[in-house]
């Protein structure tokens, strides 16, 4: 150790206030000179044992006791970072320390004995916790405070990568995907023109071709655009379908349209209704087609809804079929729906936001048979494929339609006389102008895993679902919402406390049962060891929905979930 570092360490360790309970002090590899006074400045990492969780974690950054000649304690501020002159060292230390915080968080997220969440009510977070304040000041905070803020932000958030986080369709944390997101943020470009995003634009092209071929579209077919989430992808599908049948709408607006009707199933995502509302068609123009007990659209009901819409003087033009409904994970009968759409001359969209990932598995892809007949498809790689949020595409069978429908040829951005092939300026296909680069993390993950890696990931998630399904089937204190094996990784069930189990079926039992899942979930969040969602659906009172998309989740975690629900249930209902 350099003599000067040793001296500083000794000074700090002997300092009565700063480092009394420090277990380790990591000196920086080299000194830095203050820009204004030339005094050596260092930052020290203070690690202490977190007594409550027995984990080592940062408590605070401490400044060097070195003082400016003016007796002001040296501190590092944002302005010390690059592009400041000689800012490399401070930048390096800042980012390295941030990386340490992130690595500790990732390890903790994957540690089964650590909590999924440390829940606080909104007012508690607003009031500030243990020095963590969300309020913004006029004066800048120093870098050490920013690092503590980063750490606290993660601390009071939810560890969605935890193997016992079952709450959402997007879970897990893929390290290559994370690296991809870092590279993307470092490049900090906008994916509207080849001019400023040449590599990313070509990657999009490659991935679209890959996805088209997985779907089964020919090389001559297929287009697409990345957009912020499945709801936006579905919005695009309605926009495109409407433009396809009524191209005058782009310029003449609603006056160019007859009264329209859209069709989608009762179990489909709310974004179809939202799209109708946003696009001025009106949510009342969405016909909800009945489903069977597993949540699949009934083709006969679709036909009859189309006829009903027509009899009311509406013009049906669009059918949404869902491949993987949000709650049940149901996959609509795509071929039957495609037959009906062909017969009535309707646009068929497949919302495969959740189910698209199944296409990567030889074992499960046949469940989506007929998807190649869709005019457009929503697919969210940020769900089943585990790409960090967000990563969603709208894929369109008809080449050129996205461009025709959305282009406005802004001359400041999409100049036609650029010196390269401007067909690679894909931004005018979008309804946005600026767009985040969502492609790179997906591309990098595909490189790292190959299609085979995605396949085994998907298979693993469905095996977990199968394991949970058979476990539940064998238990008397749980009841499956529907008896057949799920097609996707959603498993829906009730926990039945003894008091409810002893009640005869009827409204009174339903009332009691309706309250079980919310009560257990509230206690589950307070304790923080696992997390699962619940909802009512149709005539079914509140039930749990467990979904698997995290490759880190193993059978022991499924066992733990059931043990936790049982334990909490017994505590609440004993």
Residues that bind ligand ABU (CB under 6 A): 168-170, 230, 269, 326
Between 223 and 351, name the residue whose CB sits nearer to ligand ABU: 351
Between 168 and 190, name the residue whose CB sits nearer to ligand ABU: 168
Question: CB 389 → ligand ABU: shortest distance, Å?
Answer: 10
Question: CB 169 → ligand ABU: shortest distance, Å?
Answer: 4
Between 305 and 322, name the residue whose CB sits nearer to ligand ABU: 322
What is the rounded distance in angstroms from the CA atom of residue 490 to the CA atom of residue 465? 7
Between 142 and 271, name the residue whose CB sits nearer to ligand ABU: 271
Exposed/middle/buried for residue 434 (C-beta within 10 Å: 0-12, 13-18, 19+): exposed
CA atoms within 13 A on the CB side of 566: 12
Question: CB 504 → ligand ABU: shortest distance, Å?
Answer: 33
Cβ atoms of 319 and 337 within 8 Å: the answer is yes
What is the rounded distance in angstroms from the CA atom of residue 153 to the CA atom of residue 229? 24
Question: CB 327 → ligand ABU: shortest distance, Å?
Answer: 8
Helices H, strands E: what count in the chain? 16, 17
Distant-in-sequence, close-in-space partners of 306: CB < 8 Å, separation ≥ 6:
263, 287, 316, 340, 344, 346
Question: CB 349 → ligand ABU: shortest distance, Å?
Answer: 15
DSSP per-residue codes, 375-425: SEEEE-TTSTT-PPS--EEEEESSTTHHHHHH----TTTS-TT-SS-GGG-
Between 269 and 364, name the residue whose CB sits nearer to ligand ABU: 269
Question: CB 170 → ligand ABU: shortest distance, Å?
Answer: 6
Between 230 and 355, name the residue whose CB sits nearer to ligand ABU: 230
Between 151 and 326, name the residue whose CB sits nearer to ligand ABU: 326
Question: CB 230 → ligand ABU: shortest distance, Å?
Answer: 6
Between 449 and 545, name the residue whose CB sits nearer to ligand ABU: 545
Q: Could you tell me the strand order of the sheet in which 376-379 lies?
A: 223-227, 392-396, 376-379, 347-352, 315-322, 260-265, 286-289
Residue appearing with tokens 């401007």: 422
Between 234 and 406, name the residue whose CB sits nearer to ligand ABU: 234
Closest by Cα among 56, 28, 58 to 43:
28
Question: CB 122 → ligand ABU: shortest distance, Å?
Answer: 21
End-to-end CA distance of the chain: 61
Closest by Cα among 479, 462, 422, 477 to 555:
462
Question: CB 549 → ligand ABU: shortest distance, Å?
Answer: 9
What is the rounded distance in angstroms from the CA atom of residue 547 to the CA atom of residue 324? 11
Six-digit token pair at 180? 């991809």
Between 193 and 233, name the residue whose CB sits nearer to ligand ABU: 233
Between 142 and 264, name the residue whose CB sits nearer to ligand ABU: 264
Cβ atoms of 177 and 550 within 8 Å: the answer is no
Question: CB 270 → ligand ABU: shortest distance, Å?
Answer: 8
What is the rounded distance in angstroms from the CA atom of residue 46 to the CA atom of residue 22? 6
Question: CB 353 → ligand ABU: shortest distance, Å?
Answer: 7
Between 148 and 393, name the residue whose CB sits nearer to ligand ABU: 393
Q: Which helix (H) or strand (E) holds 298?
A: none
What is the rounded distance in angstroms from the CA atom of residue 532 to the CA atom of residue 166? 5
Question: CB 364 → ligand ABU: shortest distance, Å?
Answer: 20
Q: Could you tell me the strand order of the sheet in which 165-166 lies?
A: 165-166, 531-537, 540-546, 491-495, 478-480
Question: CB 386 → ligand ABU: shortest distance, Å?
Answer: 13
If phi > 0 it is left, if psi is from -120 to 50 it is alpha, else beta; for residue 172 that is left
Residue appearing with tokens 């400023």: 196
Between 170 and 457, name the residue whose CB sits nearer to ligand ABU: 170
What's the farthest any 2 CA atoms get from each other in the chain? 90
């Amino acid at each position: 150790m350099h003599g000067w570092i040793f001296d500083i360490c000794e000074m700090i360790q002997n300092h009565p206030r700063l480092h009394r309970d420090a277990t380790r002090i990591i000196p920086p590899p080299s000194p830095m000179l203050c820009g204004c006074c030339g005094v050596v400045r260092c930052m020290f990492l203070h690690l202490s044992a977190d007594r409550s969780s027995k984990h080592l974690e940062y408590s605070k950054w401490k400044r060097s006791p070195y003082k400016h000649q003016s007796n002001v304690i040296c501190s590092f501020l944002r302005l010390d970072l690059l592009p400041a002159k000689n800012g490399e060292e401070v930048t390096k230390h800042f980012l390295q320390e941030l990386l340490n915080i992130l690595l500790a968080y990732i390890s903790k997220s994957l540690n089964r004995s650590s909590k999924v969440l440390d829940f606080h009510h909104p007012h508690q977070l607003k009031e500030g916790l243990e020095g963590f304040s969300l309020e913004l000041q006029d004066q800048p905070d120093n870098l050490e405070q920013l690092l503590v803020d980063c750490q606290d932000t993660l601390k009071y958030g939810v560890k969605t990568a935890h193997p016992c986080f079952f709450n959402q369709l997007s879970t897990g944390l893929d390290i290559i995907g994370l690296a991809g997101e870092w590279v993307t943020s470092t490049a900090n470009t906008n994916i509207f023109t080849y001019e400023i995003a040449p590599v990313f634009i070509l990657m999009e092209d490659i991935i679209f071709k890959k996805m088209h071929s997985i779907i089964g579209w020919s090389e001559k077919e297929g287009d697409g655009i990345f957009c912020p989430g499945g709801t936006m992808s579905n919005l695009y599908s309605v926009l495109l379908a409407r433009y396809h049948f009524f191209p005058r709408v782009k310029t003449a607006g609603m006056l160019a349209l007859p009264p329209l009707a859209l069709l989608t199933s009762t179990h489909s995502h709310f974004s179809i209704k939202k799209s109708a509302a946003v696009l001025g068609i009106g949510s009342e123009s969405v016909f909800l087609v009945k489903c069977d007990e597993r949540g699949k659209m009934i083709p006969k009901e679709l036909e009859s809804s189309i006829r009903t819409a027509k009899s009311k003087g509406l013009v049906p033009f669009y059918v949404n079929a869902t491949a993987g409904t949000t709650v049940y994970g149901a996959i609509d009968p795509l071929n039957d729906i495609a037959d009906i759409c062909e017969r009535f001359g309707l646009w068929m969209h497949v919302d495969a936001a959740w189910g698209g990932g199944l296409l990567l598995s030889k074992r499960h892809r046949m469940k989506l048979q007929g998807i190649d007949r869709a005019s457009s498809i929503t697919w969210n790689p940020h769900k089943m494929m585990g790409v960090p949020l967000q990563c969603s595409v709208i894929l369109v069978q008809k080449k050129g339609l996205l461009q025709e429908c959305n282009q406005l040829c802004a001359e400041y951005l999409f100049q036609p006389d650029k010196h390269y092939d401007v067909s690679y300026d894909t931004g005018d296909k979008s309804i946005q102008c600026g767009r985040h680069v969502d492609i790179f993390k997906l591309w990098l993950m595909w490189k790292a895993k190959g299609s085979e890696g995605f396949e085994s990931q998907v298979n693993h998630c469905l095996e977990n679902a199968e394991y949970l399904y058979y476990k539940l089937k064998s238990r008397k204190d749980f009841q499956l919402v529907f008896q057949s094996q799920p097609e996707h990784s959603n498993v829906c069930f009730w926990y039945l406390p003894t008091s409810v189990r002893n009640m005869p079926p009827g409204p009174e039992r339903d009332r009691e049962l309706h309250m079980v899942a919310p009560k257990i979930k509230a206690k589950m969040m307070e304790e923080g060891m696992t997390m699962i969602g619940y909802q009512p659906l149709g005539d079914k009172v509140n039930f749990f929905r467990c979904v698997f998309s995290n490759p880190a989740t193993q059978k022991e975690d499924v066992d733990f979930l059931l043990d936790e629900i049982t334990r909490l249930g017994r505590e609440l209902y004993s």
